[in-house]
A and B are shown apart, each in its own frame.
Chain A
Amino acid sequence: MLRLFSKTLKTGVVTERVKKPTSDDLEQLGIEVKQQIDRHFKGSLAIREVDAGSCNGCELEIHALNNPIYDVERFGVHFVASPRHADVLLVTGPVSRHMQTALLRTWQATPEPKWVIAAGDCAVCGGEFGESYACCGGVDKVIPVDVTIPGCPPTPKMLLKGILGLINGVKTQSQPLAASQK
């Protein structure tokens, strides 16, 4: 037990500071729902990750978000086990046709309001696998996508920026929701 404490204390805090994304970053991340976000999330976000045919490279980097260096939980972001608890689906992979229904059902099981992030080139546009007898060629072919994070795989920093961008919107640019957008 002593060893555990001693190593824990000696390791100290390794978590790194992350800058809020600038509007340029957000532009790059393709965030399209800036206005709606502020109102709904209030700084906390539950994410359900769905692998829809990824090569698992994207998953490795998503995992890294939970390591003590990025420690995404400090921003109120947590990964949940069920779509019923989720605000956001974080989807990877070109959507293999064998996963198409599963992805649709996961999306249907997520309560409104909900957002979808397509993470990784495959999810954004099919990537190396494209569209074929086996792949749908991107998440937006199956469910509506709000944010895209390119990269093969996107680095944890890119992912973090994408997610933070979604939470913060661009505070400065946020506008009240129009009455029709419910």
Chain B
Amino acid sequence: MSQSWRDMFSQMLSSNQISHKPSLIQDTTLWQIESSQWQQAARLAKDLSARWVAGWAEQVEAGFNVNALLEKNGDYVLLRTTVPEMHPQLPSQSTVYAAANRSERHTQDLLGIHFTDCPDHRPWIKHQAWHKHEYPLRKDFPLSGQPQSITPPDMDYAFVKARGHGVYEIPVGPVHAGIIEPGHFRFQAVGETILNLEERLGYVHKGIEKLAVGRSPEKLARLAARISGDSTVAHGWAACQAMEQAASVEIPERAAWLRGIACERERIANHLGDIGAICNDVGFAFAQMQFSRLREQWLRPQLKDFGHRLMMDYIVPGGVSLDITPDACEQQLQALKTLRQELDVIVPAIDMNSSLEDRLYTAGYLSPQTAQDFGVVGYVGRASGQDFDVRRDKPYAPYHALQFNAVLEDQGDVASRVWVRVKEIFASIKLLRQMLSQLPEGAIKADWKRPQAQAEGLAMIDGWRGEIISYVRFDENNCISRFYTRDPSCVNWPALEKIVLNNIVPDFPVCNKSLNGSYSGHDL
């Protein structure tokens, strides 16, 4: 076998005198390096075209641990460095990886770590709910904080300005016109054409990372299930898998399969809803009505089979909360057949429609190069040639035992993202068929074991939006001391700023919907 990128990376680090003490978080390689070499290490990784995946930090005894997760071909490497508590600072990786920028600003706002020569030091998650030199994720910051009776709006954010003949600005949000989450978009336009878009997020910051501290495994699972309601299964799974790793809990096979079933059901439900909504954004109500009907019919049996319409709290530490009966399996298999038949009529009907073609083709183009530069994941990445799927490239139970073809396109426009999602529905139907017909017998939940003090876990789960990263560390009492999760939206949101360029302002909703980032998952 050819040399893995990890070995090459290791050699390059060594030849550049970057010592990297190896250890493991379960099966993920962890290298501890010097903070002064933080940026240089990123540059070497970039030379090997590794993807920057996630970054987070944590207050520890010696100061702060700063982490950066990298990946190539499904092979993950976690870089870690430690900076002192007094004047914590280190060179920024966002000069190398654009994707690291918002993450570093998140760390700067919540932990007060300074990334030197970071091209953008504006606050990101912080608006006005806490003071400038306070850092909510530090241990001396109480969960309750010291809020003012009315938190003032964040008026002074320095948006990029554009000047010139006929250039005007459109501020949108945080409260939007539809039933959607809050965030602010600042457009500069000439006539109808978008010159520039800048996102300002953080409005739904709920302090999830702080709330996680001190929680029991069950309570963390509940919190994780509410990071982003549309991905409740995927986030619940990621958090539970990370905790199970840390505690060396093996979940029963049947539980893993049931998790797989729930996760693929969630994928189908969201794809159905969004495909309809995208068509609706260009005024095509037929698709909206048909797809929202299918979605509702899809959700209903979940109340009985999974205990909740959205399957919230179905995944619990050690397994799942509810077993499925053979009858229910049979009904679900039947429902798969019906869904497939319905789609076989509806999909060709929308495919043939010229007014949809007019609006969706070539709109909102994301080039494969830009997608790669931003490390975009999920269907947004897969519609722009990024051939990555955690289920295939770093398989976990049950996917290691299943047949499945990852979907890939490279047209990169709104239509392409729609088609990737249509094909993903078909792929998930196949996966569900396999899982439902070969469901292993046995228990659905393993007993919990107390993890060792300081035990860490790191999980990667492919939710419907793409790769979710979940990190936990336990304290000595079976409680969480650090929890971080990177929703796929974090790496996909920046791509929207590129997707809309040179599109017309009225096409913004459809471009936005075709990416459909989670505000809540991003803001934490």
Contact = CB atoms under 8 A, between A and B. Distances in A.
A138 B207 CA distance: 15
Given A7-B290, A93-B204, A132-B144, A69 B296 contact: yes
Contact of A133 (B145, B154, B204, B229): B145
Indicate the size class of the contact surface on chain A: 35 or more
A21 interface: no
A129 B182 contact: no
Contacts of B175: 50-51, 83, 102, 106
Interface string B321-364: 00000000000000000000000011011001100000000000
B129 interface: yes
A96 B206 contact: yes
A11 interface: yes
A24 interface: no
B523 to A, nearest CB: 8
Contacts of A52: 182
B476 interface: no
B180 interface: yes
A87 interface: no
B310 A7 contact: no
A18 interface: no
Given A81-B178, A101-B153, A134-B136, A55 B229 contact: yes
B309 interface: yes
A60 B309 CA distance: 11
Interface string A69-85: 11000000001011100
B520 A102 contact: no
Contacts of B136: 133-134
A130 B145 CA distance: 13
B89 to A, nearest CB: 24
Interface in B172-224: 174-175, 177-182, 202-208, 210-211, 222-223
A67 interface: yes
A133 B151 contact: no
A147 B143 CA distance: 29
B293 A67 contact: yes
A132 B151 contact: no
Contact of A66 (B205, B207, B292): B292
B179 A11 contact: no
B404 interface: no
B127 interface: yes
A54 interface: yes
Contacts of B523: 96
Nearest to A49: B179
Contacts of A64: 292, 295-296, 299
B228 interface: yes
A37 interface: no
A14 B210 CA distance: 45
Interface in B136-162: 136, 141-147, 150-154
A81 B177 contact: yes
B445 interface: no
A73 to B, nearest CB: 12
B182 A57 contact: no
A56 B229 contact: yes
A135 B229 contact: no
A67 B147 CA distance: 40
Contacts of A81: 177-178
B232 interface: yes
Given A98-B151, A133-B136, A51 B180 contact: yes
A66 B232 CA distance: 22
A142 to B, nearest CB: 8
Interface in A125-156: 127-136, 152-153, 155
B8 interface: no
Contacts of B264: none
A89 to B, nearest CB: 10
B154 A98 contact: yes
Interface in A97-140: 97-102, 104, 106, 127-136
Query: What are the nearest 4 A-B pairs in CB distance?
Result: A57-B229, A133-B145, A134-B207, A81-B177
Given A7-B286, A63-B179, A133-B146, 10 more contacts: A7-B290, A49-B179, A68-B293, A98-B202, A101-B150, A128-B223, A129-B206, A129-B226, A133-B130, A136-B147
20 contacts: A4-B353, A53-B206, A53-B520, A56-B228, A57-B232, A59-B229, A66-B292, A67-B289, A70-B296, A96-B203, A98-B129, A128-B226, A129-B226, A131-B144, A132-B144, A132-B207, A133-B136, A134-B129, A135-B206, A152-B312
Interface of B: 127-130, 136, 141-147, 150-154, 174-175, 177-182, 202-208, 210-211, 222-223, 226-230, 232, 273, 286, 289-290, 292-293, 295-297, 299, 309-310, 312, 345-346, 348-349, 352-353, 518-520, 523
